[in-house]
Structure 1
Amino acid sequence: MVLKDELLGIIPDEARVSANETVLDHHSKGFSYHTPVLPDAVVFPKTEEEVVKIVHFAKERSIPIVPFGVGTSLEGHVIPVKGGISIDFSLMNRIVELRPEDFIVKVEPGVTRIQLNKHLKKYGLFFPVDPGADATIGGMTATNASGTNAVRYGAMKQNVLGLRCVLADGRVIPMGGETVKSSAGLHLADLMIGLEGTLGIFTEITLKLYGIPEAIVAAKVVFPNLKAAGGAATAVLQGGIPIGRIELVDSRTIEAINLYKGTDLMVHPTLFLEFAGSREMVQHDIQMTREIMEDNGCLSFEFEEDSIKRAQLWEARHQAAVAITSKYPGKLHVSTDVCVPISKLTGALEKARQLAEAYHLDAAILGHVGDGNFHTSLAIDPNDQDEVGRFQKMNEALVDYALQQGGTCTGEHGIGIGKKKYLLKEHPEGLDVMRTIKKALDPEGILNPGKID
């Protein structure tokens, strides 16, 4: 209660400074199996000035600070492993400035992806990064989120133009800018994106926007096996077709979706695709893709132009993780997220299936195969040490395989506490440099300690 009382001196509002047991519990974990740790207090700032005051307060007392969005973290990024203050940004959710003519928007970190796109739609614009969940822009920036549109639009790093960032000493540093490129020194915004709040805390984010395409068509393509589906996805990318999205789900995922949604999708590996652009270009791309899919042995090729039916088709993909977990009440969702070069994708998908079977895990395979990133997704009981151990061994074996192929241990989920040891495997020489930067910018180690540092 002493910490709460001191924080009330900064934010004199009982509704925005809490040590309530339920509030602390909510901020002790993400959507993962990692062991929760309670913060000592939770604060809900409304302004950058309040964030600065909180950071100054924490620095003077060497109190850890952990930024918190909506808690969709899968690798424990938001877990306050050393206690301290959880800063919840849900009240910093203003769209600060929209400049349609420049294709730019400035937002506070608590703005969510769906909230932003609803606001942009009336201007004929949209923000493309779509990790599936209605995550906050701050959290997406902190983990360099990507998702279903990454094959065409890239991840957050390709779509964040600038930041306002509070450093560990309380300084507010504007980073990046409002132009799509710059050669003016070290690009500090790029440095901050993906570092999970370990170097600074975002208070404003400038994003690059895009015009809503004239025509959008979604397609569903069914294959007899995982190898054929993976091969078809690779062939489309190697063929240079400007695909908007290309997502893969295996037959286990389809089974779970049918059970959860009451649908009757064919229980085979399936690619979900999206084409966008002018009507003429889209029709050309669909025809080229159909030929590639048929050459790779697809069982069916269906497409939808109606916006409602398109949304229903993509809902099946977006609901996959929930569908998988719903088969096992009381268990928690876990997911790998290795990423490999496109030429290695088919082999990696087959390896993931072999590993799941070798460790006797009922896993589904799905993911954003357009950029070589995929997930082995399953539900586990965090209290069953045998099951947790088998998942961890499978995960480690899959990471080792991905690294051997020139890939990465995490395509989009980030490091958090779940992948710290894999970061050392992936960047054995570079980790010391990362620690040097961390020490220079956060000498007291108060910003999200115990994570990628």
Structure 2
Amino acid sequence: MNAPTEFNHLVPEVHQREVPAALLDALARRFGAQCSTAMAIREQHGRDESSFQVPPPAAVVFAESTQDVADAVKLAAQHGTPVIPFGVGTSLEGHLLAVQGGISIDVSRMNKVLSVDADDLTVTAQPGVTRKQLNEEVKSTGLFFPIDPGADATVGGMSATRASGTNAVRYGTMRENVLALEVVTASGEVIRTGTRAKKSAAGYDLTRLLVGSEGTLGVITEVTLRLYPLPEAVSAAICSFPSIEAAVRTVIQVIQLGVPIARVELIDSNTVRMVNAHSKLALREQPMLLMEFHGSPAGVKEQAETVQEIAGEHGGEAFEWATTPEERTRLWTARHNAYFAAIQSRPGCRAISTDTCVPISRLADCLLDSVEEADDSGLPYFLVGHVGDGNFHFGYLLDPNDPKERELAEGLNHKLVARALALGGTCTGEHGVGLHKMDFLVTETGAGAVDMMRSIKRALDPKNIMNPGKIFSI
């Protein structure tokens, strides 16, 4: 079955490989009730938060161990059948979709924290452990895992997409925080990469190769992560600005002065209005920065005072401080609900979201021109950004049944990405390439670099069964 026409022009090589009945029989014998071909289960695993509509996988295997994953991959490899890893389904770029058919391997039942090594500031967990679960299990040690992409994603999925989020300006992304992996390769072999040591010069850096590979080189079955001491003091604040430019200029100055701010998020006035309606808040409907400071009480106070002074120079006002966990949770919950607030603001809509990232010095240039284009289009949108590291998201809200709106949104997205690339940025700061940004990857890296990626893919997955049709075409 071919995918819809509007999907084909975005993603080359979209076709369904036949899944042999012999494979389905073999999976049923090996996994019993852990394998399902029920349409409701398949459909659940055949969609994510993207706007693409693709036929679901032929079967879903609910893995409960590394051996389960290895056995499922071995059976799929024998029949040349695609394998798509699945965590909780929060990806935004079509990573989970069975564009070439195949089977989905759901690792959500592999949800145990295997070891916490507090003295070494590391934790090892199975891939189905979620971000919130991980922090709940390590909090008694006085440590925490800072990567916060907003959704309660799994650590396996976060590793596969090289996720980051609101804390990246201080703590980095998954690239900096994954120390080691256990991975099932395309042949069903189980390999380990990296160690708990903080650094290594031993051979090729396979951990970094697999972090961000989006399931195209293997299925992650274990992750070793860095932990950090819980800060002695935490303070959050919001501040409203007369314009997006004023807010962005404030952020640029804060970063360039070296203030060790932990989080700094931009929300435009459209999004503030949506969040107010969704979360029953009364935030001032102007461009807003949400900020958080970590450190000693004296250090947090000094950071906050410095930022407040800089914001005042750019017209920032209506500072609201939150020092208790309950107050901070209220503010950050509103921010994390921005996507859902936007979706609910236009019933029945879908969002085409972007996540370009540019050097901090070019952030204002990229944002302001993109805002002007979006305003002129008349298409509803929301804007949020992890602006401390130059990363921001537009979400264009479209009627999925209106081809003209889809075309308009894609046009805005193309212009925005082209602008980011021209300013020395990237087509994706954290969502990954998936289906939606395959053409942009070639523009960003060049055909030679993509050919090198293809060579790696062919060497490690000669039958092209590991999440095929993502990142680039074969």
User: TM-score scaled by structure 1?
Assistant: 0.98
The C-alpha deviation readout for 1:87-126, integer Å capped at 9, x for no partner, is: 0011111111111111111101000000111111111111
Measured in 1, the distance between the counterparts of 2:335 and 2:192 equals 37
Q: CA deviation at 1:167?
A: 0.9
Equivalent residue for 2:51? 33
Describe the SS at the equivalent of 2:383.
Answer: strand
Q: Do the aligned partners of 2:85 and 2:219 also contact (CA within 8 Å) in 1? A: yes
The letter of the residue matching 1:346 is A
The letter of the residue matching 1:407 is G
Equivalent residue for 1:104? 122
Residue segments in structure 1 that go unaligned for 5+ positions in a row? none
Describe the SS at the equivalent of 2:114.
Answer: strand
Q: Which of residues 295, 317, 321 in structure 1 aligns to 2:335?
A: 317
The letter of the residue matching 2:29 is G
The letter of the residue matching 1:166 is V
Equivalent residue for 1:430? 449
Equivalent residue for 1:404? 422
Q: Do the aligned partners of 2:26 and 2:75 also contact (CA within 8 Å) in 1? A: no
Aligned length: 451
Measured in 1, the distance between the counterparts of 2:88 and 2:350 equals 17
Measured in 2, the distance between the counterparts of 1:45 and 1:338 equals 34
Equivalent residue for 1:172? 190
Query: Is the deviation greater in 253-262 or in 396-405?
Result: 253-262
The C-alpha deviation readout for 1:169-197, integer Å capped at 9, x for no partner, is: 12211101101111112110000001100
Q: CA deviation at 1:371?
A: 0.6
The letter of the residue matching 2:311 is M
Q: CA deviation at 1:200?
A: 1.0
- Percentage of matched positions with identical amino acids: 46
Q: CA deviation at 1:299?
A: 2.3
Query: Is the deviation greater in 71-80 or in 290-299?
Result: 290-299
Q: Which of residues 257, 266, 269 in structure 2 aligns to 1:251?
A: 269
Equivalent residue for 1:331? 349
Q: Do the aligned partners of 1:325 and 1:331 also contact (CA within 8 Å) in 2? A: yes
The C-alpha deviation readout for 1:171-227, integer Å capped at 9, x for no partner, is: 211101101111112110000001100011111000000110000000101100000
Equivalent residue for 1:155? 173
Equivalent residue for 1:347? 365
Equivalent residue for 2:156? 138
Describe the SS at the equivalent of 1:376.
Answer: strand
The C-alpha deviation readout for 1:252-290, integer Å capped at 9, x for no partner, is: 000101111121110100000000011111111111111
Equivalent residue for 1:77? 95
Q: Do the aligned partners of 1:324 and 1:378 also contact (CA within 8 Å) in 2? A: no
Q: Do the aligned partners of 1:93 and 1:108 also contact (CA within 8 Å) in 2? A: yes
The C-alpha deviation readout for 1:371-425, integer Å capped at 9, x for no partner, is: 1000012322222111111110100010000000000000001011111111111
Measured in 2, the distance between the counterparts of 1:360 and 1:285 equals 39
Equivalent residue for 2:66? 48
Residue segments in structure 2 that go unaligned for 5+ positions in a row? 1-20
Measured in 2, the distance between the counterparts of 1:56 and 1:257 equals 47
Query: Is 2:278 the counterpart of 1:290?
Result: no
Q: Do the aligned partners of 1:4 and 1:18 also contact (CA within 8 Å) in 2? A: no
The C-alpha deviation readout for 1:272-319, integer Å capped at 9, x for no partner, is: 000001111111111111111111111222211111001101111111
Q: Which of residues 198, 209, 223 in structure 1 aligns to 2:216?
A: 198
Q: CA deviation at 1:4?
A: 3.0
The letter of the residue matching 1:77 is H
Describe the SS at the equivalent of 1:31.
Answer: coil
Q: CA deviation at 1:85?
A: 0.6
Query: Is the deviation greater in 265-274 or in 26-35?
Result: 26-35
Q: Do the aligned partners of 1:62 and 1:446 also contact (CA within 8 Å) in 2? A: yes
Q: Do the aligned partners of 1:129 and 1:155 also contact (CA within 8 Å) in 2? A: yes
Equivalent residue for 1:4? 24
Q: Which of residues 225, 229, 237 in structure 2 aligns to 1:211?
A: 229
The letter of the residue matching 2:452 is V
Equivalent residue for 1:440? 459
Q: CA deviation at 1:2?
A: 5.0
Equivalent residue for 2:11? none
Q: Which of residues 136, 140, 144 in structure 2 aligns to 1:126?
A: 144
Describe the SS at the equivalent of 1:204.
Answer: strand
The C-alpha deviation readout for 1:106-149, integer Å capped at 9, x for no partner, is: 10100000011111111111100000000011100000000000
Measured in 2, the distance between the counterparts of 1:411 and 1:361 equals 24
Residues 331 and 3 (structure 1), Cα distance of their counterparts in 2 relative to 1, 3 Å cut: farther
Measured in 2, the distance between the counterparts of 1:187 and 1:217 equals 37
Equivalent residue for 1:116? 134
Q: Do the aligned partners of 1:221 and 1:302 also contact (CA within 8 Å) in 2? A: yes
Measured in 1, the distance between the counterparts of 2:23 and 2:342 equals 41
Measured in 1, the distance between the counterparts of 2:350 and 2:138 equals 34
The letter of the residue matching 1:224 is P
Equivalent residue for 1:65? 83
Describe the SS at the equivalent of 1:374.
Answer: strand
Taking only aligned residues, the RMSD between alpha carbons, in angstroms, comes to: 1.0
Trace 1:379-394 onto structure 2 (pairs within 5 A): 379-394=397-412
Q: Do the aligned partners of 1:95 and 1:108 also contact (CA within 8 Å) in 2? A: yes
